[in-house]
Amino acid sequence: DQKNAKGEKALKHKNITIRAEQDKWITEHSLNLSDFVQRKIDELIMNELMLDELTYNELHHYPTK
């Protein structure tokens, strides 16, 4: 992982496109879109890692959790 001068994980800036009704909903619910996207991506990464571990264990006949 890349670190900034303070030793924190470096952040990358990305642009996304959303529909008008999505923008309205985000505003009405005071959603922090960056936090939401980061959490969702982390969730997908963890699900993928867990699936990879389960697949590995099944292929090698290890008991799954």
Contacts with 64 (C-beta within 8 Å, 6 or more apart), sequence order: 54, 57, 58
**What pLDDT digit, counting tens, does each position of 3-12 carry?**
777 877 788 8
Q: Is residue 25 part of a domain?
A: no
For residue 52, what are the domain limits? 32-64
| pLDDT of 56 | 72
Examine residue 50 and state whether it is found in any structural domain, yes or no: yes
Give domain status of residue 60, yes or no.
Answer: yes
Question: The whole model's pTM is what?
Answer: 0.65
Does 10 reside within a domain? no
Q: How far apart are CA 51 and CA 57, in angstroms?
A: 10
Instruction: Give the tens place of pLDDT for each residue, 12-46.
Output: 899 999 999 999 999 999 999 999 999 999 999 98
Give the pLDDT band of residue 50 (cuts 50, 70, 90): confident
| 9 domain residue, yes or no | no
Overall domain count for the chain: 1
